[in-house]
Amino acid sequence: MRNPRTATVGTTAGVAAASVVACLALAGCSTPAAAAPGISDDTVTVGTHQPLTGPAAAGYASISAATKAYFEYVNANGGVHGRSIEYVVKDDGYNPANTQTVVRELVQEDQVFALLGGLGTPTHSSVLDYLDQNDVPDLFVASGSTMWDDPEGHPNTFGFNADYVVEGAALAQYTADEHAGSKVCVFGQDDDFGAEFLEGVELALGADGVTAHESYSTSNQDVTAQMGALQAAGCEDVLLATVNGFTALAVGTAAKMGWSPRWLASSSGGDYPTLVELLGEDVAPALLQGFVSANYLPFGPDGEWVELFEQINDEYNDGARFDGNTVYGMSVGYLFAEALAQAGEDPTRESLVEAVESGKLEGNGILPLMFGPDDHSAFDGVGITVVADGVQDYVGATYAVGGGKVTEVEPQPVELRGGGVPAP
């Protein structure tokens, strides 16, 4: 005689099993791979907001095209865990109101798995809380603001750039090492970019180490008054917390005034090919001879990463102009592919964030990544590049910033492996 309890369990189990079979047959249930938005058996969909038009387009519109080209290269080589990466790029015109609209479209309509490389501090900060409230992984923000490093307040957000404090401190220390006793001045954007960069400069030189400080607004294309004030102050080394367009404006305006200090720029405004295009090929090589900038990614005319990215650019990006934006965009793409590979065969949003926090990601920078459970910043240091005879390259000086001080360190570039496609 059957035990009634056993019979009940067996019947319940049978009904449950039948329900699962029926559910799968009707596609009413999802496999673990399909449980996360933006994930199917064959694809993973991520999105971004970028300034394809508007005031920042001239300096940054090419970044997302480079990222997309890198993903096409990965897809042509088998994808990640057999999935192709689809990258949905939406134009926000560098306008925070537009950013809010397009990011909601990405999350609610496009059902992206993650946001990747959203560009700009004023733009991205306007969607920071929204992404957190919707548990969307917010990876590798394209801005050097320190606000992306907030594991408790925004646990899904991670930066990518070396932050502005790091860059300001490193450039100031390089100036002190190379030109001790010179009059150091700062020209910066009138927002957290300029403020945090100045904080870094003062960290290295002390508050009394800055001779003069001038700022600009992106809405005003005339910087004559600021350049005049810096010239009158006797500035010899001018450190720039500027985007590429305003770097060119500063250098060009000073040249018209007959003034030529030494220029040192944040990576956000220090890309030589972009500056040449903005200033003009007839005058740029002379104006930018000796131009100094910070960077943390593969750079210069040699190196396996640069060679690979040039090949990808030619084949998958219609041979667009190759510059620092190209390297930046493809480096962001590589780091995401690496995180996706670490997130497992059936990735979830949670496993993707855990992969970034694991400390196992290497990226392709010249210094180790800092990501961990208590640190959502990418790089704590930068290398110094200098333009010589039309070529911008590292000169060997590399600085890390931490514990309230600046330290010269040895670069530790990541070796290219697997043809630049991360292995699971």
Q: Which of 270, 295, 320 is the last residue of a domain?
A: 295
The sheet with strand 405-408 has its strands ordered as 210-216, 184-189, 237-241, 262-265, 292-295, 381-388, 391-402, 405-408
Residue pLDDT, tens place only, 223-258: 999 999 999 999 999 999 999 999 999 999 999 999
Does 394 fall in a domain?
no
Predicted local distance difference test score (pLDDT) of residue 56: 85
74 vs 423, more confident:
74
Q: What is the mean pLDDT of residues 57-78?
A: 95
Residue pLDDT, tens place only, 178-209: 999 999 999 999 999 999 999 999 999 998 99
Predicted local distance difference test score (pLDDT) of residue 5: 32
One domain, residues 197 and 147: no
Q: Which of 258, 276, 295 is the last residue of a domain?
A: 295
**pLDDT value at 8 more than 90:** no
Residue pLDDT, tens place only, 373-424: 999 999 999 999 999 999 999 999 999 999 999 999 999 999 999 999 998 8
Enter the pTM of the model.
0.89
Predicted local distance difference test score (pLDDT) of residue 301: 73
**pLDDT value at 2 more than 90:** no
Does 265 fall in a domain?
yes
Predicted local distance difference test score (pLDDT) of residue 300: 74
Mean of pLDDT over the chain: 91
Predicted local distance difference test score (pLDDT) of residue 53: 95
**pLDDT value at 126 more than 50:** yes
CATH number at residue 79: 3.40.50.2300
**pLDDT value at 9 more than 80:** no
Does 236 fall in a domain?
yes
What whole-number distance in Å separates Cα of residue 29 and Cα of residue 15? Answer: 16
Does 104 fall in a domain?
yes
Phi, psi of 281 (to 5 degrees): -65, -20
Lowest mean pLDDT among 54-58, 101-105, 212-216, 419-423: 54-58
Does 390 fall in a domain?
no
Does 422 fall in a domain?
no
One domain, residues 277 and 303: no
Predicted local distance difference test score (pLDDT) of residue 35: 63
Does 400 fall in a domain?
no
Name the percent of the chain lying above pLDDT 70: 92
Instruction: Give the chain's domain count.
Output: 2
166 vs 6, more confident:
166
One domain, residues 179 and 285: yes
Q: Which of 295, 315, 345 is the last residue of a domain?
A: 295
One domain, residues 54 and 79: yes
One domain, residues 169 and 285: yes
One domain, residues 285 and 175: yes
Name the percent of the chain lying above pLDDT 90: 88
Model confidence band, residue 28 (pLDDT cutoffs 50, 70, 90): very low
Cα–chain center distance at 254: 30
Local structure of residue 35 (DSSP, 8 states): S
* Residue partners of 21: CB distance under 8 A and separation at least 6: none
Residue pLDDT, tens place only, 255-311: 999 999 999 999 999 999 999 999 999 999 999 999 999 999 998 777 999 999 999
Q: What angle do CA 189, 193, 194 make, to 5 degrees?
A: 50
One domain, residues 263 and 208: yes
Model confidence band, residue 25 (pLDDT cutoffs 50, 70, 90): very low
Residue pLDDT, tens place only, 33-45: 446 899 999 999 9
Q: What is the mean pLDDT of residues 72-80?
A: 97
**pLDDT value at 3 more than 80:** no
One domain, residues 129 and 170: no
**pLDDT value at 10 more than 70:** no
One domain, residues 175 and 282: yes
Q: What is the mean pLDDT of residues 110-127?
A: 96
Lowest mean pLDDT among 19-23, 75-79, 211-215, 236-240: 19-23
Does 412 fall in a domain?
no
One domain, residues 170 and 291: yes
**What Cα–Cα distance (Å) separates residue 305 from each residue in 19, 246, 366?**
52, 29, 11
One domain, residues 175 and 157: no
* Tokens matching residue 346: 């059936």
One domain, residues 190 and 154: no
How are beta strands 114-116 and 84-91 bridged, if at all? Answer: unpaired
Predicted local distance difference test score (pLDDT) of residue 265: 98
What whole-number distance in Å separates Cα of residue 413 and Cα of residue 306? Answer: 12
Give the range of the structural domain holding residue 209, as residue numbers without chain letter: 164-295
* Tokens matching residue 388: 């010589």
